[in-house]
Structure 1
């Protein structure tokens, strides 16, 4: 591996740096975008149970706010539960936008890595071919070893750039789709709670679910 890095030239350093950053982002986002962390099951049912049993207080709202991104969105609405529907929705939407930005954290960086690493590889290809033609110009084609060095540098950097870019792009697209899905789920669950509290939707008292 070290020999390949040396053969690829100095452009291998930024490509390797991009690969390390991409791996860190992918690992962090896989952990942070877990469904049970962002949109815990039965959270709305739990909140409705508190409301039904008249147990909803500042302590519960604080625990809700700090528990998950969806809990933070629901808490924004519950803080304004004594106001009308529009005020609750505005608070939920404002907090929801911040929660969505949090879910998208580092994704632009991952997308940038997916875009620039092939270009770094292409730059390495160009530099390698320039070296080849420079050798041909000064020494002719009599030394195949020197020519092979420039060609190998061109091919190695191209392969390294694509090796980093392809999985980075795949995970970027995957995370984008997952964030969109999670945001939609948060919106749906928040609307359930608002509609039940405003009397626009029936609630299953036994199960605590909005029906």
Structure 2
């Protein structure tokens, strides 16, 4: 712990800047993790199987109530839009679900992409601290008195190395978090696309009085 405190002190003001970036990265990661894993995501396959059974049984009202039971989930939000137009034409069903999809997509994608930018900022701040530290080190070689030269040289190199390390320590986990959250985001949106098309086909077939598979 003492070594970490010393490294932080040697890094100078750049360490505080990178620390601020790390707090932002952690906040965005936790917020996105909560929403994507616990509010928006669900077992869409099992949910859609229930919806299909209810539609096949001509019990659309119960299917809508099933969607209402999970108001924060993304797939039920879009499926409900189609079910409320179940007795309308194909175009109205499609338009309703497209509108619901356009409403929900920005919420699902919000701030996840920003993690890449935050990681880059942390890396660049570490690099800037490195450059400033090396400038101080070279200035020490040129201007410092012999008795102070070694101390100033060590301080400049310490700043350079510590800011680089801290910038990477923040950037790498942030990029990993972005990779993980992007995967979950894609899975949710893929579920929306797939099951909205399946429901559309289901309702259109039902409306034409054909066999529902």
TM-score range normalised by the length of the shorter chain: 0.7 to 0.9
Query: Secondary structure at the residue paired with 2:71?
Result: helix
Query: Secondary structure at the residue paired with 1:198?
Result: helix
- Higher helix proportion: 2
In structure 2, the CA distance between the partners of 1:90 and 1:140, relative to structure 1 (3 Å rule), is farther
| Equivalent of residue 144 in structure 2, options 139, 142, 146 | 139
Structure 1 distance, partners of 2:211, 2:185, is 29
| Equivalent of residue 193 in structure 1, options 187, 199, 212 | 199
Task: Using the TM superposition, name which of 31-40 and 111-120 deviates more.
Answer: 31-40
Match of 1:27 in 2: 30
Q: Which runs of 5+ in 1 are unaligned?
A: 204-210
Match of 1:54 in 2: 59
Give me the TM-score of the superposition, normalised by structure 2: 0.83
In structure 2, the CA distance between the partners of 1:55 and 1:87, relative to structure 1 (3 Å rule), is closer
Task: Using the TM superposition, name which of 154-163 and 16-25 deviates more.
Answer: 16-25
Shift of residue 131 of structure 1? 1.1
Structure 2 distance, partners of 1:192, 1:141, is 78
Query: Secondary structure at the residue paired with 1:56?
Result: helix
Query: How many correspondences in the alignment?
Result: 204
In structure 2, the CA distance between the partners of 1:38 and 1:186, relative to structure 1 (3 Å rule), is same
| Equivalent of residue 169 in structure 1, options 175, 182, 187 | 175
| Equivalent of residue 15 in structure 1, options 12, 18, 25 | 18
In structure 2, the CA distance between the partners of 1:65 and 1:34, relative to structure 1 (3 Å rule), is closer
Checking the alignment, whether the CA contact within 8 Å between 1:114 and 1:165 is kept in structure 2 is yes
Match of 1:122 in 2: 127
Shift of residue 33 of structure 1? 2.1
Query: Secondary structure at the residue paired with 2:205?
Result: coil
| 2:164 is the alignment partner of 1:158 | yes
| 2:8 is the alignment partner of 1:5 | yes
